[in-house]
Amino acid sequence: MQKSLAKHFPLFVAPTLIAFLISFLIPFVMGVYLSFTEFTTVVDAKWVGIDNYVKAFTANTDFINALWFTVKFAVVSVVSINFFAFITAVILTRGIRGTNFFRTVFFMPNLIGGIVLGYIWQIIINGYLYKYQVTLTYDAKYGFWGLVILMNWQLIGYMMVIYIAGIQNIPNDLIDAAKVDGAGPLQIIRHIIIPSVMPAITICLFLTLTNSFRLFDQNLALTNGAPARKTAMLALDIYNTFYGRNNWEGVGQAKAVIFFVLVATIAYLQLKLTRSKEVEG
Amino acid sequence: MKKILAFVLIATLAFSMAACATSSGTMEIYFLNFKPEIAEVYDKIAADYEKETGVKVRVVTAASGTYETTLKSEIAKKDAPTIFQINGPVGFQEWKDYCADLKNTKLYSYLSDKSLAITEGDGVYGIPYVVEGYGIIYNNAIMEKYFALSDKAVNISSAEEIRNFETLKAVVEDMTAKKDVLGIEGVFASTSLNQGEQWRWQTHLANLPFYYEFKENKNYCNTVLAGLAANEIEFKYANNFKNIFDLYIENSCTPKNLLGSKSVNDSMAEFALGKVAMVQNGNWAWSQIAGTEGNVVKAEDIKFLPIYIGMPGEENQGLCIGTENYFAINSKVSKEKQEASIAFLEWLFSSEKGKSYVKNELGFIAPFNTFEENEKPTDPLAKEVLAWMEKDGVTSVAWTFAAFPSEEFKNYFGDALLEYTQDSKTWDDVVNVVKDSWKSEKAK
């Protein structure tokens, strides 16, 4: 068995490996290469060194602004999404009536595409702001909170499901024992539930963090950066740089590389940090 | 087992090779179309052309606002577009390496005004295929209703007598005061300031002050060249721009602060439904007006007014007429394909069949001498454009925005206009943004 597996090893690995090469590795390497060049189409590029990286920061403040906006957004939405998701998960594991119905309903927003969601929320928020004779584009803070609400609405259900799975894995006798010892509901959450669902927290933090950083469709559909790119996040800024101006494709590419490094670093640090808090099973 | 596997693999290989062989048999040209509104007509034309000549024309249409994006990815493919389009001298700079010289083609010789083509040195690289005009479109039915009022504040009696900004302003403001009597919600349709919907202001309206500014530069024979040579601008007629822009937003059917969510489609629908009397747009808008469900604007009531911004002598100013649609032939495809592509375009603009498509279905005002007097398009706005072009003593305003440094410049301008409309920027801020971004975009 061992031997025949070794013999057919290429056969099993090849399809995935080829797909991985074509759709991930090659574009990635090309992308990094292109960030050092000036190009109109990806097949003819001229080497310009680190010019693009310098331009990304010095030519205008768009990238820095987008970075700040994204960081602020990520902090607010990571905290709020996980908070609400955890609360709903705790409530929906208490066996109240209609639990399954609520779980399904909360999960559903996650199944709708980002662009559609963006436009739907644009209509809802504008409909509300119309009462005050303004729109989403009036002030960057409307766009900011609009995005936070949208993101919460979309991701809470998903994270909730992960937390529910975590909570359901906690042995009942552990909680019963805590109750017998006289622990109140808050104490149970703090000392029993949270430490036990640490793996779920790791995953949820990772997903919300990377999702917030990479947010694109919702941003494009909801505000498209208005007013004056004050609500443009990193991904949107990269897109605008790449397609918005002549001969700036390389700069867009350079921004994308910086973006990758940034997201990868933050995600790695976060994983390391929360992993260390997980209780060994 | 192995035998079966080998057989299957060979079969697939053979099949795919056969598939390749058939596809390379006939000549195929690839046209990347810019105008989604007429995509279906091109499909018909392609089918007809294939029937007549055996050359297959593949027409791919880029979705609205994504032409550059689509072109960038399509042209990198092995099977690249053979005919694509550029938007003027600035677009040419971007696609220079891909534009074939068209100096010796019949298509170029058909061009009635050779100065319209995009040239560099001796070469001709872009050939315009449609002339368009824009101004303030008005619904004459509403205007007549206004001029029939006994208590109107002006002493003219038809919209045609509006020949300068002062009169326009007086009429518009009086109409706003009487909008209930006239049964309209505002004089102007919404000034669409949604992202990506701002081109009517940061490009088309901005054309006028810059046309006048660059016209004063006597070193160049036209305003586009003067604009392309200008590394910095004064924005000398910024206040004229403000005049007309204020008039638009103050007399609109939508309150100022809500304009940020309006699109061009919204504006055109408001006009088509008779809620407003005027809208700034070009002759391409006819299909949109006529196609709106519940359209109440009759073809004979739809007229053009030049955009007056309060310049001395503007009584003789006409519509803004020009083009930003130039055909270019991809120089990186094989010679045969290039020739076949040119032949297709020549057929479209010179054969009887091709011309009837251009006139009746594409609705182009084509700038080619192959079109006789009776072969001009028939839709009301195109007819108005032609009428304004032929009016005695009236000078059309050239499309000077072809000289604007980049899309980014226009975006900065548009963003500033939105903030000005929402009162978060002063007019001086807008002027500075325009001047600074022109300078910085030119420097790149």
Query: Which CATH number fits the domain that encloses residue B244?
Result: 3.40.190.10
Nearest of A245, A244, A255, A215 to residue A231 by alpha carbon: A215
Confidence of residue B6 (pLDDT cuts 50, 70, 90): low
Cα separation, B311 vs B317, in Å, equals: 9
Mean pLDDT on A39-45: 77
Is the same domain home to B48 and B153?
A: no
**Paired strand residues for A72:** none
Cβ separation of A130 and B75 shorter than 8 Å? no
Structural domain includes residue B86: yes
Confidence of residue A40 (pLDDT cuts 50, 70, 90): confident
Contact assessment for residue A56 and residue A63, using Cβ atoms and an 8 Å cutoff:
yes
How many domains is chain B partitioned into structurally?
A: 2
Does the CB of A130 have a partner CB in chain B at under 8 Å?
Answer: yes
How many domains is chain A partitioned into structurally?
A: 2
- Low-confidence winner among A195-199, B55-59, B114-118, B382-386 (lowest mean pLDDT): B114-118
Is the same domain home to A160 and A234?
A: yes
Helix orientation angle between A26-34 and A249-275, rounded to the nearest 10 degrees? 120
ipTM: 0.75
Q: Which of B76, B411, B416 shows the shortest C-beta gap to A43? A: B76
How far does the CA of residue A231 sit from the closest CA of chain B (Å)?
A: 12
Higher pLDDT, A86 or B223: A86
Asked whether the predicted pLDDT for residue A176 surpasses 70, the reply is yes
Site of tokens 């607010």? A76
> pLDDT above 90 covers what percent of chain B?
55
Strand locations in chain A (E) = 37-39, 45-47
Cα separation, B240 vs B33, in Å, equals: 36
Cβ separation of A224 and B422 shorter than 8 Å? no
Does the CB of A244 have a partner CB in chain B at under 8 Å?
Answer: yes
Distances (CA, A) of A57 to A61, A259, B407: 7, 13, 20
Is the same domain home to A27 and A99?
A: no
Asked whether the predicted pLDDT for residue A42 surpasses 80, the reply is no
pLDDT of residue B24: 46
Structural domain includes residue A261: yes
- Residues in A closer than 8 angstroms to B261, CB to CB, are 122, 126, 135-137
Q: Which residues of A105-121 are buried (b: 16+ CB within 10 A; e: fewer)?
A: ebbebbeeebeebbebb
Is the same domain home to B67 and B100?
A: yes
Cα separation, A273 vs A169, in Å, equals: 23
User: From the candidates B93, B261, B407, which should be mutated to test the interface with A, based on the most A CB atoms within 10 A?
Assistant: B261
Mean pLDDT on A103-129: 90
Is the same domain home to B239 and B160?
A: yes
pLDDT of residue B20: 46
Cβ separation of A227 and B75 shorter than 8 Å? no
- Residues in B closer than 8 angstroms to A224, CB to CB, are 195-196
Q: Which of A126, A229, A247 shows the shortest C-beta gap to B261? A: A126
- pLDDT tens digit sequence for B285-344: 887 888 888 999 988 999 999 999 999 989 999 999 988 899 999 999 999 999 999 999
Structural domain includes residue A41: no
Contact assessment for residue A216 and residue A200, using Cβ atoms and an 8 Å cutoff:
no
Is the same domain home to B413 and B424?
A: yes
Among B311, B337, B371, give the residue marking a domain's end.
B371
Does the CB of A227 have a partner CB in chain B at under 8 Å?
Answer: yes
Is the same domain home to A13 and A124?
A: no
Structural domain includes residue B15: yes
Nearest of A68, A141, A150, A154 to residue A107 by alpha carbon: A154
pLDDT of residue A269: 93
Is the same domain home to A142 and A235?
A: yes
Is the same domain home to A109 and A74?
A: yes
Does the CB of A52 have a partner CB in chain B at under 8 Å?
Answer: no
Is the same domain home to B116 and B174?
A: no
Is the same domain home to A153 and A103?
A: yes
State the residue range of the domain holding A72: 52-275
Contact assessment for residue B170 and residue B262, using Cβ atoms and an 8 Å cutoff:
no
pLDDT of residue A63: 92
- Low-confidence winner among A113-122, B76-85, B140-149, B370-379 (lowest mean pLDDT): B370-379
pLDDT of residue A2: 67
Structural domain includes residue A196: yes
Both structure tokens of B310 = 């309060």
Q: Which of B90, B260, B444 shows the shortest C-beta gap to A137? A: B260
State the residue range of the domain holding B366: 2-131+323-371
Q: Which of B255, B408, B418 shows the shortest C-beta gap to A137? A: B418
How far does the CA of residue B86 sit from the closest CA of chain A (Å)?
A: 13
Site of tokens 């010179």? B350
- pLDDT tens digit sequence for B248-297: 999 999 998 889 888 898 999 999 999 999 999 998 888 788 888 899 99
Structural domain includes residue B294: yes
pLDDT of residue B136: 96
Structural domain includes residue A43: no
What is the CA angle A186-A192-A193, rounded to 5?
80
Asked whether the predicted pLDDT for residue B16 surpasses 60, the reply is no
Confidence of residue B23 (pLDDT cuts 50, 70, 90): very low
Is the same domain home to B399 and B433?
A: yes
CB atoms within 10 A of CB A50: 11
Is the same domain home to A25 and A101?
A: no
Both structure tokens of B180 = 């209930």
Structural domain includes residue A24: yes
Contact assessment for residue A173 and residue A192, using Cβ atoms and an 8 Å cutoff:
no
Asked whether the predicted pLDDT for residue B18 surpasses 60, the reply is no
Mean pLDDT on B381-386: 89
Is the same domain home to B126 and B141?
A: no
User: From the candidates A121, A135, A247, which should be mutated to test the interface with B, based on the most B CB atoms within 10 A?
Assistant: A135
Is the same domain home to A9 and A145?
A: no
Cα separation, B326 vs B88, in Å, equals: 7
DSSP B304: E
Contact assessment for residue B368 and residue B110, using Cβ atoms and an 8 Å cutoff:
yes
Asked whether the predicted pLDDT for residue A158 surpasses 50, the reply is yes
Structural domain includes residue B387: no
User: Contacts by B76-79 with C-beta closer than 8 Å and gap 24+?
Assistant: B76/A41, B76/A42, B76/A43, B79/B30
Confidence of residue B379 (pLDDT cuts 50, 70, 90): confident
Is the same domain home to B11 and B75?
A: yes
Is the same domain home to B75 and B104?
A: yes
Cβ separation of A40 and B93 shorter than 8 Å? no
User: Contacts by A2-11 with C-beta closer than 8 Å and gap 24+?
Assistant: none
Mean pLDDT on A94-103: 87
Cα separation, A166 vs A194, in Å, equals: 10
Structural domain includes residue B24: yes
pLDDT of residue B22: 43
Mean pLDDT on B41-53: 92
Q: List residues in chain B touching A: CB distance below 8 A.
A: 68-69, 72-73, 75-76, 90, 93-95, 97, 193-196, 255, 257-258, 260-261, 406-408, 411-412, 415-416, 418-419, 422, 424, 440-441, 444
Is the same domain home to B338 and B230?
A: no
Structural domain includes residue B45: yes
User: From the candidates B8, B98, B193, B195, which should be mutated to test the interface with A, based on the most A CB atoms within 10 A?
Assistant: B195
Structural domain includes residue B171: yes
Confidence of residue B59 (pLDDT cuts 50, 70, 90): very high
Both structure tokens of A134 = 């303004």
- pLDDT tens digit sequence for A193-213: 998 999 999 999 999 999 999
CB pairs A-B closer than 8 Å? 81
| Coil vs helix vs strand at B377 | coil
Structural domain includes residue A40: no
pLDDT of residue B1: 52
Structural domain includes residue B385: no
- Low-confidence winner among A80-89, A264-273, B62-71, B363-372 (lowest mean pLDDT): B62-71
Is the same domain home to B107 and B156?
A: no
Is the same domain home to A11 and A65?
A: no
Mean pLDDT on B3-14: 56
Cβ separation of B75 and A41 shorter than 8 Å? yes
Check which CATH number belongs to the domain holding A162 and give it. 1.10.3720.10
Is the same domain home to A108 and A21?
A: no
- Across chain B, mean pLDDT equals 88
Torsions phi, psi for A227 (to 5 deg) = -85, 140
pLDDT of residue B2: 58
Question: Which region, left, alpha or beta, applies to residue A186 given φ > 0 means left and ψ of -120 to 50 means alpha?
Answer: alpha
The one-letter amino acid at A231: T
Is the same domain home to A152 and A264?
A: yes
Is the same domain home to B11 and B121?
A: yes
| Coil vs helix vs strand at A127 | helix
User: From the candidates A38, A54, A137, which should be mutated to test the interface with B, based on the most B CB atoms within 10 A?
Assistant: A137
Is the same domain home to A199 and A255?
A: yes
pLDDT of residue A279: 63
- Residues in A closer than 8 angstroms to B254, CB to CB, are none
